[in-house]
Structure formats: structure tokens, C-alpha cells
Amino acid sequence: MYDLRLWLSKKGSLKYVSHLDMFRLMQRAVRRAGIPLWYTEGFNPHPYISFLLALSLGIEGEGEPVDLRIVGEMTPEEVRERLNAVLPRGLSVVAAAPPQDKPAAIAFGRYDVYLDPAQISGAELQDVLAGGGLTCQKSGKSGHKKIMKTVDVSAQLREWQIEEKDGSLLLHVVLPAGSTVNLNPLQLLEAVSEKRGAPVYACSAVRTALLKADGKEFR
């Protein structure tokens, strides 16, 4: 028995499949692939599959970590191949290796956000991001009651880069991710839209990597 960390690529329309649905999808995929998983031993046994960090609806992922507990001798390479043979289009295992870092070590997500230059220019985007005072609304809880909270986006925004080429506009950005603070690039764009008083939509947004607090890649 050993723990295995898979790195999933989730592309195209699969970005509309939610975190909860991904768990069920994976559970069925490992069954179809015939991968011997360790089952929990409670009243209601289920296979041990853990998505380390949710990916917001509408965002693609290039390497999303999922932990499995394998019973027996099947090699990481074989697990990867078997799963890739049964996963739906748009989803694939890009790597499989024993985990190096603890899940709690995840601190940031690195994103590529493709924008429409007709909506906003690179220079304006730079000004808005650097100008400070960005906020967005996030649903939260106060006790049992659902409330809307205002989040200070600028305080969480540290590192970004704007790239313009061949009539496209690409924003590279690092945002907090993990079990305590989370901000996704679509919320960042909401804050930008709010500040400039005109909407900016993402043509697409991809999480390219997860980082630890020291800025090194989570593995």
C-alpha cells in the first residue's frame, strides 16, 4: 500500500465540472480502470481519493493534485496509463508520483488569464492593478447565516505580469490559494471591472501551478 499523487490536466468544457462532481467522476474512473484503491473502513466504505484544492468553476487546470491510496503493487506509471485510457475528453493524468509536500503547504496559485484587448488595454490593466483599492464581493457565512463579504483584493495581489502579443492580452498572476485564504482570477477581474466601471471578462483562465509559501512549486 502506498500513497500516490496524480497531477490532472482539466481542459476545455471540463472546466464547468465542479469540485464535488470531479470527486464522483474520479471514483468511477478508478473503478473502470481497475485500480486497486484502499477503502475507508467506516460504516459506509468508500475509496480514498482526495482532491487537494478546489478549482473554481470556469477555470482550467494544468496540474491539479489528487491523492490516491493504492493497495498492492501497481506502479505509478501503470496507474497513469490505465486512467488516461478511461477518462473523458478534456481530462488526463499528466504525472503520477509519490507526494513530496503536505497538502497544507499549498499557499498560492499561479494563473494565466487571457483577456480581450478590445475590452481593456495592457496599460490600463497595469494602472488599475497597481493603483490599489481593489475590492470584490464574496459569499461567506456568519454563524449559519449566508452573507456577502467585501474582500480587499489589492492586499492579496503581489505578483503579476502583463504580456501583449499578436493582438492578445495575457495576464500572469499569483493569487493566494489554500485552506485559509483563497482568491481566484475571476474574482480579481470582478474587482477590476468594479474599479474602472466597465466589465472585463476572461476569454479563458488557467491555473498553471500551485506554489508553497516560499514561492517554490508544490510537489
Partner 1 sequence: MDKKLERILPRVQKPARYIGGELNSVVKDKEKIGLRYAFCFPDSYEIGMSHLGIKILYAIANSREDTWCERVFAPWPDMEEQMRQNGILLYGLESGDPIRDFDMIGFTLQYELCYTNVLNMLDLAGLPVFAKDRTALSPIVMGGGPCVCNPEPIAPFFDLFSLGDGEEVNNELMDLYLEHKKRGSDKQAFLADAAKIPGVYVPSLYNVSYHADGTVGAVTPAGGAPETVTKRVVRDLDKVAYPESFVVPFIDVVHDRVTHEIFRGCIRGCRFCQACFLNRPIREKSPETINEQCKVLCRNTGYDEISLCSLSSSDYSRIEELLNLLLDWTPQEKINVALPSLRVDNFSDELLQKLKKVRRSGLTFAPEAGTQRLRDVINKNVTEEEMLKTANIAFSGGYCAVKLYFMLGLPTETDEDVEGIGLLAKKVVDAFYTNPDRPAGRGVQVSISASSFVPKPFTPFQWEPQATAEELQEKQQHLKETLPSRKISVSFHDIETSCLEGVFARGDRRLADVIYRAWKQGCTFDSWGDFFKYDVWMRCFADAGLDPAFYANRRRAFSEVLPWDHLNYGVSRRYLEREAQKAMRAETTPNCKQGCAGCGANKLNGGHCDV
- What residues numbered 159-218 form the site for partner 1, per CB under 8 A? 186, 201
Residue 141 CB, shortest distance to partner 1, in Å, is: 20
Determine the Cα angle at 4 with ends 113 and 20, to 5°.
55
- How far apart are alpha carbons 24 and 36 in whole angstroms? 17
DSSP 12: G
Report which secondary-structure segment, H or E, holds 170.
strand 168-176
146 contacts partner 1 (rule: CB under 8 A): no
Question: Of the ranges 37-45, 94-102, 107-115, 156-164, which one interacts with partner 1 (CB under 8 A)?
Answer: 37-45
52 contacts partner 1 (rule: CB under 8 A): no
A 10 A CB-CB count for 74 gives: 17
Residue closer to partner 1 by CB (options 90, 103) is 90
19 contacts partner 1 (rule: CB under 8 A): no
Selected binder of partner 1 within 3, 39, 100, 158 (CB under 8 A): 39
The x, y and z cell numbers of residue 113, run together, are 488569464
Residue 137 CB, shortest distance to partner 1, in Å, is: 16
Strand runs labelled E in 12-127 = 49-51, 60-70, 91-97, 106-115
Which residues contact partner 1 by CB under 8 A? 12-14, 16-18, 20-21, 24-25, 27-32, 39, 44-45, 57-58, 86-90, 186, 201
